[in-house]
């Protein structure tokens, strides 16, 4: 298989999240972190019932989600249980 590259453009808040999480988790770079996420997804082959609805939001709404995620990352606080509860109740945004 031939080697190819693609560039990935991230909104500033999401890039900050990736850089902070990469550092906390011990990845050598945010790029290695993103590769790790893709590899983990390929390994698990699970649905994306939480993040897929965000991908279909208007960009201004995605930016609001990213800002909230950055705040959570800066605070070191996850909301997995709370977020899952919101998703199950039909709310697709943070």
- Please write the tens of the pLDDT for every residue from 51-62: 898 899 999 989
Alpha helix locations (H) across 1-94?
12-25, 30-44, 52-55, 59-75, 80-88
Tokens 């902070």 correspond to 20
Instruction: Look at residue 41 and tell me whether its pLDDT is greater than 70.
Output: yes
* Contact call for residues 26 and 64 (beta carbons, < 8 A): no
Give the torsion through C-alpha atoms of 87, 91, 93, 94, to 10 deg.
Answer: -70
% pLDDT > 70, the chain: 80
pLDDT bin (cut points 50, 70, 90) of residue 13 is very high
Instruction: Look at residue 43 and tell me whether its pLDDT is greater than 60.
Output: yes
* Contact call for residues 70 and 16 (beta carbons, < 8 A): yes
């Amino acid at each position: 298989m031939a080697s190819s590259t693609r560039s990935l453009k991230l909104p500033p808040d999401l890039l900050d999240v990736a850089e902070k999480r990469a550092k906390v988790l011990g990845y050598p770079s945010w790029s290695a972190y993103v590769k790790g996420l893709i590899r983990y997804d390929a390994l698990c082959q699970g649905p994306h019932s939480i993040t897929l609805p965000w991908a279909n939001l208007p960009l201004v709404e995605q930016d609001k989600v990213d800002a909230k995620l950055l705040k959570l990352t800066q605070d070191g606080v996850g909301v997995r249980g709370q977020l899952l509860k919101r998703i199950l109740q039909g709310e697709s945004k943070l």
